[in-house]
């Protein structure tokens, strides 16, 4: 089997599974549906691992080739083609591994759902789309994958399409993403207009020559072409990777079933923007303005989304805000020109965040679909595997030394410290403060769920029903006072264990080759002179053990420990303290600001969306009906009607009147005709 066949097989295997489960889902059993999709993804994962091994160990050259020509215009080919290098291979492995875990997990999680086969079809289709995105060797296919993952995300958020909240959330997700794609598409348009091609390799090769090219978008204002292009492309990333202010769709996407929250809205799709910017590093490196924009947006997201995580009581939403905040960390790394660090954090985050989400899903199953952490507590006794794996995930998330998240997050913080961009000091503050906040909300959730009193026994069902809007749904019935939660079946716990292993280990083993070795050589570019962060980091790096030991002397680690201790004190020892703090913040209005998520939803829903509908109504009722139809069309008809009233008097009904008019007309026409002929001769 030659390599091209393998590359083709990697995305096509999950597509085959998706088509079988989707088109013939009505005819085949549940077992057949999950077997065929899992087999497809497993094949894809094994081949991806084989490809990664080839690149890392055997030094296989990167592959860059065309599969077929999609379109030709103006002599330029738009191809579907693959670029398989170390970055792609790593992404392929992450995507297919997490996808495989999620496929297996779904057998347990969706067991009772009537849409079982449809769900497997969607998640396999997602895997195909995401693979096409990361394997693209050109902008067109990138955009294809980009929109295709958006489509599947839309379908999966609205999977339970009877719920009004779900169909609201999926429409919102699609439209907010479309705002990002709007910028992305214009960025692609500028690339084609100035580079004359959409192939990565050709575009990157020309980039240095166009460093000083400018565009004039407003008369008198000349901007650097690369700055404008990079910012437009990054707007696409802001939509997909949920960066402020296009982050609003991600918390609502939790309406989807938990497995897809893990796969799509934590581990893979939302990191597509990070991947894309890393892929475009040869362009972004040439524009400090664009990098600074990226840095500041990332810092805002990392800090302010973390705050929102503190006040959430829905277990999935806590994890969702933590995802937003971590995506902000990755974006900060991009802005600091530490692309490889961003990708490294992407990878470690994929494992421990998928783990946390799947753990949350397991808790939700144990709690009989009650998602409110205030009703949980003491679950470690009933769900030991979920407990341990969730603890591992949380420790990785907050950056405990030797855990994977430590290596990636600490590298981000150090890279920002070395950045000289104007926004770097704010970004440094954001990512350092974020460490405390992350530790605090992560362990707030951890303690409330797994430790302390078993609160579901005492909960006031009635009050809870009022508090939680989702309760109308049959999926949310929760535990009764005399029920006991049970550990989930092995199909659920096995993926947890398999994800916990890389959550602990992958950072230790991968940091040296990925950040300081040759893994990304020739794939990710950075300008050593202008952006020395990576060089500085490399000088300071003396192996993973030294890095972990060194961290003991840094304030970052103590901030994390502080966050854990604070959450323990607040939620386990003295619940009166957070209650008092809560009262204080309620009094000064901060609580409200956080509950309303900084009023961003109001801005979009009551602002832009309503304005669009009002404008549409005005255009329709005033423009079309009143002006065009009322004045122009029916007005014309009325004028014609008036004249016809007058001319009706000419219609006397006498034959000789008509005959006279006909003769007269014929004479006039003939004169005109002959006149024309005579003149032309």
Partner 1 sequence: MTGNLLSLTIWVPIVAGLVVLATGGDRNANAARWLAVLGALAGFLVSVPLYTGFDTLHGGIQFVESTPWISTFNINYALGVDGLSVLFVILNSFTTLMVVIAGWQVIQSRVAQYMAAFLIMSGLINGAFAATDAILFYVFFEAMLIPMYLIIGVWGGPNRIYASVKFFLYTLLGSLLTLVAFVYLYMQAGGSFVIADFQRLPLGMGAQAMLLIAFFFAFAVKVPMWPVHTWLPDAHVEAPTGGSMVLAAITLKLGAYGFLRFALPIAPDAAREYAWVFILFSLIAVVYIGLVALVQTDMKKLVAYSSISHMGFVTLGFFMFAGGTQLNPYAVEGAIVQMVSHGFVSAAMFFCIGVMYDRVHSRKIADYGGVANKMPIFAAFMMLFAMANSGLPGTSGFVGEFMVILGAVQVNFWYAFAAATTLIFGAGYTLWMYKRVIFGDVANDHVAELKDVNKREFLVLAVLAIAVLGMGLYPKPFTEVMHVSVNDLIWHVSQSKLQ
Task: Report the residue from 19, 35, 54, 189 that binds partner 1 according to the rule CB under 8 A.
Answer: 189
178 binds partner 1 (CB under 8 A): yes
CB of 145 to partner 1, least distance (A): 9
Look up residue 432 and give its two tokens. Answer: 């350092």
Q: Which is nearer to partner 1, 619 or 660 (CB)?
A: 619
* Binding span for partner 1 by CB under 8 A among 91-99, 172-180, 302-310, 377-385: 172-180
Q: Mask 64-83, x = binds partner 1 (CB under 8 A)?
A: ----xxxxxxx---------
215 binds partner 1 (CB under 8 A): yes
* First-to-last C-alpha distance (Å) of the chain: 79
Q: Which of residues 89-128 bind partner 1 (CB under 8 A)?
A: none
Q: What are phi and psi of 471, to 5 degrees?
A: -70, -10
480 binds partner 1 (CB under 8 A): no
Which residue's entry shows tokens 């296989």? 60
CB contact at 8 A, 64 and 50: no
What's the CA gap between 564 and 581, in Å, rounded? 17
Reduce the DSSP state of residue 227 to 3 states and report it. Answer: helix
Beta pairing partners, 138: 199
Reduce the DSSP state of residue 69 to 3 states and report it. Answer: strand
CB contact at 8 A, 404 and 504: yes
Instruction: Give the chain's count of helices (H) and strands (E).
Output: 29, 4
Q: Which of residues 640-679 bind partner 1 (CB under 8 A)?
A: 676
Q: Which of residues 305-334 bind partner 1 (CB under 8 A)?
A: none
Q: Which is nearer to partner 1, 147 or 252 (CB)?
A: 147
Task: Report the residue from 90, 188, 231, 356 that binds partner 1 according to the rule CB under 8 A.
Answer: 188
Q: Tell which residue, 216, 214, 232, has the closest CA to residue 224.
A: 214
Q: Tell which residue, 292, 498, 519, 316, has the closest CA to residue 392.
A: 498
628 binds partner 1 (CB under 8 A): yes
Task: Report the residue from 5, 554, 586, 617 that binds partner 1 according to the rule CB under 8 A.
Answer: 617
**Residue 510 to residues 340, 344, 348, 519, 533: CA-CA distances in angstroms?**
11, 8, 10, 10, 19
Which residues touch 334 (CB under 8 Å, ≥6 apart)? 274, 277, 278, 284, 291, 294, 295, 298, 342
CB of 552 to partner 1, least distance (A): 50
Question: 3-state SS of 181-202?
Answer: HHHHHHHHHHHHHHHCCCEHHH
Task: Report the residue from 555, 623, 641, 675 that binds partner 1 according to the rule CB under 8 A.
Answer: 623
Q: Which of residues 121-150 bind partner 1 (CB under 8 A)?
A: 140, 143-144, 147-148
CB of 350 to partner 1, least distance (A): 25
CB contact at 8 A, 305 and 397: no
CB of 527 to partner 1, least distance (A): 27
CB of 174 to partner 1, least distance (A): 6
Q: Which is nearer to partner 1, 384 or 675 (CB)?
A: 675
Q: Which helix (H) or strand (E) covers residue 72, if one does?
A: strand 63-73
Q: Which is nearer to partner 1, 188 or 286 (CB)?
A: 188
CB of 636 to partner 1, least distance (A): 8
List residues near partner 1 by CB under 8 A. Answer: 68-74, 140, 143-144, 147-148, 151, 154-155, 158, 161-162, 164, 167-168, 171, 174-175, 178-179, 181-182, 185-186, 188-190, 192-193, 215, 217, 612-613, 615-617, 619-620, 623-624, 628-629, 632-633, 637, 676, 680
């Amino acid at each position: 089997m030659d390599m091209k066949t393998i590359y083709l097989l990697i995305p096509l295997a999950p597509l085959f599974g998706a088509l079988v489960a989707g088109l013939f889902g009505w005819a085949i059993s549940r077992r057949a549906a999950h077997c065929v999709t899992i087999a497809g993804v497993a094949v894809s994962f094994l081949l991806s691992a084989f490809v990664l091994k080839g690149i890392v160990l055997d030094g296989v050259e990167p592959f860059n080739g065309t599969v077929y020509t999609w379109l030709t215009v103006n002599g330029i080919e738009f191809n579907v083609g693959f670029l398989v290098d170390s970055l792609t291979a790593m992404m392929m492995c992450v995507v297919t591994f997490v996808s495989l875990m999620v496929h297996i997990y779904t057998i347990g999680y969706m067991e009772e759902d009537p849409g079982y086969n449809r769900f497997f079809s969607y998640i396999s289709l997602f895997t195909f789309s995401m693979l096409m995105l990361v394997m693209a060797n050109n902008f067109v296919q990138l955009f294809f994958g980009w929109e295709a993952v958006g489509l599947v995300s839309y379908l999966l958020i609205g999977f339970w399409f009877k719920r009004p909240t779900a169909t609201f959330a999926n429409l919102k997700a699609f439209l907010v993403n479309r705002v990002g794609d709007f910028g992305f598409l214009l960025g692609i348009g500028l690339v084609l207009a100035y580079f004359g091609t959409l192939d990565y390799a050709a575009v990157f090769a020309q980039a240095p020559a166009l460093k000083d090219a400018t565009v004039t978008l407003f008369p008198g204002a000349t901007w650097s072409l690369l700055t404008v292009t990079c910012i437009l492309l990054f707007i696409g990333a802001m939509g997909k990777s949920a960066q402020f202010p296009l982050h609003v769709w991600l918390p609502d996407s939790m309406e989807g079933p938990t497995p897809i929250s893990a796969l799509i809205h934590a581990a893979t799709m939302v990191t597509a923007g990070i991947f894309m910017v890393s892929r475009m590093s040869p362009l972004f490196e040439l524009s400090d303005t664009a990098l600074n924009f990226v840095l500041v947006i990332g810092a805002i997201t990392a800090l302010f989304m973390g705050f929102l995580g503190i006040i959430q009581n829905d277990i999935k939403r806590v994890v969702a805000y933590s995802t937003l905040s971590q995506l902000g960390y990755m974006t900060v790394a991009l802005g600091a020109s530490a692309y490889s660090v961003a990708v490294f954090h992407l990878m470690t985050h994929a494992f421990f965040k998928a783990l946390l989400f799947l753990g949350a899903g397991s808790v939700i199953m144990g709690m009989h679909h009650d998602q409110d952490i205030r009703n949980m507590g003491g679950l470690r006794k009933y769900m030991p595997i979920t407990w341990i794996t969730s603890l591992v995930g949380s420790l990785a998330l907050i950056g405990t030394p030797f855990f994977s998240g430590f290596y990636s997050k600490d590298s981000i913080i150090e890279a920002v410290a070395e950045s000289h961009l104007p926004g770097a000091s704010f970004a440094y503050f954001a990512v350092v403060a974020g460490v405390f906040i992350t530790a605090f909300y992560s362990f707030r959730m951890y303690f409330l769920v797994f430790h302390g009193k078993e609160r579901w026994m005492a909960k006031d069902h009635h009050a809870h029903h009022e508090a939680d809007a989702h309760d109308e749904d049959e999926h949310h019935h929760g535990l009764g006072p005399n029920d006991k939660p049970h550990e989930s079946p092995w199909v659920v716990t096995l993926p947890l264990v398999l994800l916990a292993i890389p959550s602990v280990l992958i950072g230790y083993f991968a940091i040296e080759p990925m950040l300081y070795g040759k893994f990304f050589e020739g794939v990710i570019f950075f300008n050593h002179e202008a952006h020395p962060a990576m060089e500085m980091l490399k000088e300071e790096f003396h192996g993973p053990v030294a890095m972990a030991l060194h961290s003991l002397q840094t304030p970052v680690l103590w901030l994390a420990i502080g966050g854990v201790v604070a959450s323990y004190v607040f939620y386990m020892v003295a619940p009166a303290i957070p209650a008092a703090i809560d009262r204080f913040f309620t009094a000064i209005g901060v609580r409200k600001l956080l509950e309303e998520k900084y009023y961003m939803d109001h801005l979009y829903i009551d602002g832009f969306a309503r304005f669009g509908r009002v404008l549409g109504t005005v255009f329709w009722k005033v423009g079309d009906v009143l002006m065009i139809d009322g004045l122009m069309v029916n007005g014309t008809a009325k004028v014609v009607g008036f004249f016809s009233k007058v001319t009706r008097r000419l219609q006397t009904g006498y034959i000789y009147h008509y005959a006279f008019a006909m003769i007269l007309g014929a004479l006039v026409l003939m004169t005109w005709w002959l006149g024309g002929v005579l003149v032309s001769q």
